[in-house]
């Protein structure tokens, strides 16, 4: 065993050394953030960024690796949040069952994954734009259903006072513990997506995206791969949904309303659906804009309510000029710089 | 019609039976046993007519959507915004001039122009890139919704119908029989009857234009094979512009109709976008008769659901869509591509 490892180390560096320095710097900044950032930044800005990033990551997985743009991810996340409120404890004592955390978290993820899988099984019967339309229609049906149903989802008002459990003597809703909780979940989800994308399943899924006929001819079950992708993405979205309900301490139909569903798409597309880091970049841009745009807009003499206009125009600009998002802009800029400095391809031309 | 009956004898029999039962439910006076099961006949008739009228409105919005998609493969998710914009513009016109009828041509022209700009400036740049079109039109609908919120605010508007459409009309359908044996006929708002009639006229006119004129021939040829049509010398971009302008103008006019018998407020744009999505999914992409059937089914299920199972009316709509998707993914009248 040791012989093999030695030989490998001689050919290529250890995996730790292959991580680019940018990642070390990013990790260091994120881990030491509580030392120099305020509670508002930690809880509201960074916590929300990681949560939205996780949910958008599940969309990125489906869209980037599976070629299926699904708008159901926010509803799946909200479903997980609802399950936490229903099976755990909340302010609505008539409905909530108050089970312990080690029971209701798996139940929530399981139910949300089941929901996402059923929707996925319906959606994979169609392709391209039809998938968007069908998932959008189902997402809106979910929104109206939760708003009208009072026996399970408590209708218009939803659930309040849904807080994370007091584990290991830590109040997880305090700024610093919550920051590390969301950071940890985001890192796990990111690693899971990267791992799955390189595993045989992920490679087969990318093959299905590029050429479903050929993959079917090679003996792969195309439909099963797509549905399984929905299941995996739903688990990730469910994790984001549970964190979301803990951060807001409440969940209501509006959590998965049409604007919220569209926002997840905006985040994923603005960040770039080509790579798993994209959704987090998009989420950071979105959260920073939504947190600070009222100040910015009033500085320009506009009313602070025009936030959606700003987001919409920014989104339009990104999809108009760079279909692969901010990441695509960055990559093109780097490619251009590399071309400029390359003496063979001509610096000045 | 005869071909369908020959190919699917069982289905035709079932459809004929359902039509007969429905006609009997509408025209025959109900016995007491039936009324104890289904409630008063008046309520049933009102739900039925409400559903048909709502279906007519959905048809007006969705037919433009399905036509644009069928011909150009353009996914216009800003269609609901065109509807709401048309409604607001119609409100302004009818308030300023006092003429309800004048609002229709004005709105048709204005929203149609916006449609031309959209097709020429946005969709032509990204022909064939469905995903990008979707994203861009979603962005456009967000921007348009916020601009409309800016101009018209968050309150809801109702457009008032002219006096000659005010009040109810009496239909030759018996809604109830008094103890004295005297029959009471159904009374129904005249505006809604006018909307229903207008939708039928527009639907038939569209069918005639599509199937009996040269322009319709071009459009149908374009739906079937776009490249071949442009190769045979037709300036297909002009056909596209005309169809897009017509579809957008129709959505704008539907906005006036919707503002007259319901109301206009922020959020209606997504509601009608989703309604057209569901209608088109159920009816089949690019098919006008499909849009009519889908609109009728969705409108009826929504109204009937509101009357007989208020909590779950949305779920009925969803169930219809899921059933169609499960058994006929291309839609009831859609063609598999």
The predicted-structure confidence for B248-258, as pLDDT tens digits, reads as follows 999 998 898 88
Q: Is A36 within a domain?
A: no
Contacts with B333 (C-beta within 8 Å, 6 or more apart), sequence order: B283, B284, B287, B289, B290, B293
With 70 as the cut, is the pLDDT of residue B124 above it? yes
SS3 B168: strand
Give the pLDDT confidence score for residue B316 in this predicted structure.
80
* Alpha carbon distance A258, A142 (integer Å): 10
What is chain A's mean pLDDT, rounded? 80
ipTM: 0.73
Give the pLDDT confidence score for residue B321 in this predicted structure.
80
**pLDDT average, residue stretch B59-80:** 83
Ranking A41-50, A78-87, A299-308, B224-233 by mean pLDDT, the lowest is A299-308
Evaluate the CA torsion angle A280, A284, A285, A286 in order and state its sign.
positive
Ranking A83-87, B45-49, B333-337 by mean pLDDT, the lowest is B333-337
What is chain B's mean pLDDT, rounded? 81
Task: Determine phi and psi for B170, rounding to 5 degrees.
Answer: -100, 125
Contacts of residue B318 in chain A, CB cutoff 8 Å?
137-138, 141, 145
**CB contact A162 to B (< 8 Å):** no
If you ran DSSP here, which 8-state letter would residue B119 be given? I
Q: Which residue of A has its CA nearest to B144?
A: A309
Which residues share a beta bridge with B187? B170
Ordered by where they begin, the domains of chain B are: 52-174+185-327 (1.10.3470)
Contacts with A194 (C-beta within 8 Å, 6 or more apart), sequence order: A276
Q: Do B138 and A148 touch (CB under 8 A)?
A: no
Q: Do A316 and B143 touch (CB under 8 A)?
A: yes
Residue A319 is nearest to which of B136, B317, B318, comparing CB atoms? B136
* Alpha carbon distance A20, A194 (integer Å): 16
With 50 as the cut, is the pLDDT of residue A9 above it? no
**CB contact A149 to B (< 8 Å):** yes
How confident is residue B100, by pLDDT bands cut at 50, 70 and 90? confident
**pLDDT average, residue stretch A198-216:** 88
Residue A141 is nearest to which of B136, B318, B326, comparing CB atoms? B318
**pLDDT average, residue stretch B180-189:** 70
Q: Is A1 within a domain?
A: no
Task: Determine phi and psi for B161, rounding to 5 degrees.
Answer: -75, 155
With 80 as the cut, is the pLDDT of residue A8 above it? no
More confident residue, A218 or B19: A218
**pLDDT average, residue stretch B214-237:** 82
- For residue A306, give the CATH number of its domain: 1.10.3470
Give the pLDDT confidence score for residue A2 in this predicted structure.
47
* Alpha carbon distance A329, A333 (integer Å): 6
SS3 A300: coil
Number of compact structural domains in chain A: 1
How confident is residue A3, by pLDDT bands cut at 50, 70 and 90? very low
Six-digit token pair at A225? 């791969």
Q: Is A203 within a domain?
A: yes
B interface with A, Cβ–Cβ < 8 A, is 75, 129-132, 134-136, 138-140, 142-143, 145-147, 149-150, 270, 274, 277-278, 280-281, 285, 310-315, 317-318, 321-322, 325-326, 329
Six-digit token pair at A52? 């939205």
**pLDDT average, residue stretch B283-301:** 85
* Alpha carbon distance A133, B75 (integer Å): 10
CA-only gyration radius of chain A, Å:
22
Q: Is A19 within a domain?
A: no
With 50 as the cut, is the pLDDT of residue A97 above it? yes
User: A308 to chain B, minimum CA–CA distance in Å?
Assistant: 6
Chain A 177-196, residues with CB within 8 Å of chain B CB atoms: none
Q: Do A312 and B143 touch (CB under 8 A)?
A: yes
Give the pLDDT confidence score for residue B30 in this predicted structure.
65
Range of the structural domain that residue A178 is part of = 43-341
Give the pLDDT confidence score for residue B50 in this predicted structure.
84
**CB contact A128 to B (< 8 Å):** yes
* Alpha carbon distance A144, B13 (integer Å): 36
CA angle at A231 for the pair A228 and A236, rounded to the nearest 5°: 130
| Per-residue pLDDT tens over the stretch A29-65 | 777 777 777 777 777 788 888 999 999 999 999 888 8
Closest by CA to B282, choosing from B223, B327, B243, is B327
Contacts of residue B129 in chain A, CB cutoff 8 Å?
323
Give the pLDDT confidence score for residue A151 in this predicted structure.
77
Contacts of residue B278 in chain A, CB cutoff 8 Å?
137
Evaluate the CA torsion angle A151, A153, A155, A161 in order and state its sign.
positive
Task: Determine phi and psi for A151, rounding to 5 degrees.
Answer: -75, -35
With 60 as the cut, is the pLDDT of residue B337 above it? no
CB B300 within 8 A of CB B48: yes
**pLDDT average, residue stretch B293-317:** 81
Q: Which residue of A has its CA nearest to B138?
A: A262
Q: Do A129 and B139 touch (CB under 8 A)?
A: no
Q: Is A242 within a domain?
A: yes
Contacts of residue A126 in chain B, CB cutoff 8 Å?
325, 329
Q: How far is CA A251 from CA A159, A208, B311, in A?
A: 5, 36, 20
Six-digit token pair at B27? 């025209």
Six-digit token pair at A53? 């990033």
Closest by CA to B248, choosing from B271, B212, B276, is B276
* Alpha carbon distance A337, A331 (integer Å): 10
**pLDDT average, residue stretch A316-323:** 76
Q: How far is CA A66 from CA A134, A203, B200, in A?
A: 17, 10, 43
Work out the burial of residue B210: count CB atoms within 10 Å of its CB; fewer than 13 is exposed, 13-18 middle, 19 or more buried.
middle
User: B285 to chain A, minimum CA–CA distance in Å?
Assistant: 10
SS3 B47: helix
More confident residue, B28 or A311: A311
**pLDDT average, residue stretch B97-121:** 88
With 60 as the cut, is the pLDDT of residue A182 above it? yes
With 60 as the cut, is the pLDDT of residue B336 above it? no
Tokens 């939708």 locate to B199
Q: Do A122 and B138 touch (CB under 8 A)?
A: no
* Alpha carbon distance A329, A322 (integer Å): 6
Q: Do A316 and B132 touch (CB under 8 A)?
A: no
Q: Is A16 within a domain?
A: no
Q: How far is CA A215 from CA A99, A204, A205, B233, in A?
A: 45, 8, 9, 39
With 60 as the cut, is the pLDDT of residue B133 above it? yes
Evaluate the CA torsion angle B305, B309, B315, B320 in order and state its sign.
negative
Q: Which of B69, B123, B126, B134 to mutate to test the interface with A (most CBs of A within 10 A)?
A: B134
Contacts of residue B294 in chain A, CB cutoff 8 Å?
none
Contacts with B43 (C-beta within 8 Å, 6 or more apart), sequence order: B307
Share of chain B above pLDDT 70, in %: 88
| Per-residue pLDDT tens over the stretch A155-171 | 777 787 777 777 776 77
Q: Which residue of A has its CA nearest to B121?
A: A320
If you ran DSSP here, which 8-state letter would residue A156 be given? G
CB B38 within 8 A of CB B294: no
If you ran DSSP here, which 8-state letter would residue A173 be given? T
Q: Which of B121, B132, B142 to mutate to test the interface with A (most CBs of A within 10 A)?
A: B142
**pLDDT average, residue stretch A197-218:** 88
* Alpha carbon distance B76, B86 (integer Å): 16
If you ran DSSP here, which 8-state letter would residue B262 be given? S
Ranking A183-187, A219-223, A301-305, B185-189 by mean pLDDT, the lowest is A301-305
């Amino acid at each position: 065993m040791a012989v093999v490892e030695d030989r490998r180390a001689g050919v290529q560096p250890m995996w730790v050394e292959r991580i680019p320095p940018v990642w070390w710097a990013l990790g260091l900044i994120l881990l030491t953030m509580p030392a120099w950032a305020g509670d508002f930044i930690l809880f509201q800005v960074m916590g929300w960024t990681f949560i939205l990033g996780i949910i958008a990551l599940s969309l990125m997985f489906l869209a980037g690796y599976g070629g299926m743009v699904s708008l159901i991810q926010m509803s799946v996340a909200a479903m997980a949040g609802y399950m936490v409120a229903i099976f755990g404890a909340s302010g609505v004592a008539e409905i909530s069952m108050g089970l312990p955390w080690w029971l209701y978290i798996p139940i929530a993820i399981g139910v949300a994954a089941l929901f996402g899988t059923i929707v996925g099984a319906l959606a994979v019967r169609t392709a391209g734009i039809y998938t968007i339309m069908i998932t959008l229609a189902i997402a809106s049906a979910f929104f109206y259903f939760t708003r009208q149903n009072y026996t399970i989802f408590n209708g218009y008002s939803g659930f309040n006072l849904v807080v994370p459990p007091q584990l290991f003597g830590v109040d997880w809703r305090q700024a610093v513990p919550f920051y590390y909780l969301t950071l940890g979940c985001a890192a796990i989800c990111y690693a899971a997506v990267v791992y799955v994308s390189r595993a045989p399943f992920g490679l087969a899924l990318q093959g299905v995206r590029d050429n479903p006929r050929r993959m079917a001819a090679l003996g792969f079950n195309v439909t099963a791969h797509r549905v399984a992708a929905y299941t995996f993405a739903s688990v990730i979205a469910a994790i984001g949904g549970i964190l979301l309900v803990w951060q807001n301490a409440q969940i209501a139909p509006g959590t998965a309303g049409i604007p919220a569903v569209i926002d997840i798409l905006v985040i994923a597309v603005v960040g770039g659906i080509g790579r798993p880091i994209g959704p987090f970049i998009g989420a950071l841009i979105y959260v920073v804009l939504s947190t600070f745009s009222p100040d910015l807009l009033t500085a320009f003499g506009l009313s602070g309510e025009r936030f959606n206009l700003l987001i919409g125009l920014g989104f339009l600009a990104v999809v108009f000029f760079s279909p692969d998002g901010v990441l695509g802009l960055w990559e093109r800029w780097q490619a251009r710089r590399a071309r400029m400095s390359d003496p063979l391809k001509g610096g000045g031309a | 019609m005869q071909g369908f009956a020959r190919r699917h004898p069982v289905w035709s029999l079932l459809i004929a039976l359902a039509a007969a039962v429905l006609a009997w439910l509408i025209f025959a006076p109900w016995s007491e046993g039936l009324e104890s099961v289904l409630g008063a006949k008046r309520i049933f008739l009102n739900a039925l007519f409400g559903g048909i009228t709502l279906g007519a409105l959905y048809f007006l919005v969705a037919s433009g959507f399905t036509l644009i998609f069928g011909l150009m493969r353009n996914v216009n998710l800003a269609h609901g915004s065109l509807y709401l914009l048309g409604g607001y513009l119609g409100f302004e016109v009818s308030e300023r001039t006092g003429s309800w009828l004048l609002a229709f041509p004005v709105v048709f022209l204005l929203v149609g122009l916006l449609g031309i700009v959209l097709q020429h400036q946005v969709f032509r740049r990204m022909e064939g890139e469905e995903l990008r079109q979707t994203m861009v039109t979603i962005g456009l609908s967000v921007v348009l919704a916020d601009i409309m919120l800016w101009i018209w605010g968050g309150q809801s508007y109702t457009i008032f119908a002219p006096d000659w459409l005010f009040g109810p009309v009496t239909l030759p359908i018996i809604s109830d029989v008094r103890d004295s044996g005297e029959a009471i006929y159904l009374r129904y708002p005249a505006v809604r009857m006018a909307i229903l009639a207008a939708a039928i006229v527009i639907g038939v006119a569209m069918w005639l234009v599509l199937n009996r004129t040269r322009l319709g021939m071009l459009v149908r040829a374009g739906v079937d094979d776009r490249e071949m049509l442009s190769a045979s010398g037709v300036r297909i971009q002009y056909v596209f512009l005309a169809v897009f302008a017509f579809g957008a103008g129709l959505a704008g006019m539907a906005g006036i109709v919707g503002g007259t018998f319901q109301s206009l407020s922020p959020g209606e744009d997504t509601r009608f976008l989703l309604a057209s999505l569901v209608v088109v999914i159920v009816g089949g992409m690019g098919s006008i008769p499909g849009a009519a059937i889908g609109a009728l089914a969705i409108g009826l299920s929504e109204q009937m659901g509101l009357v007989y199972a208020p909590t779950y009316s949305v779920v009925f709509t969803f169930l219809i869509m899921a059933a169609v998707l499960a058994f006929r993914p291309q839609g009831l009248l859609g063609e598999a591509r």
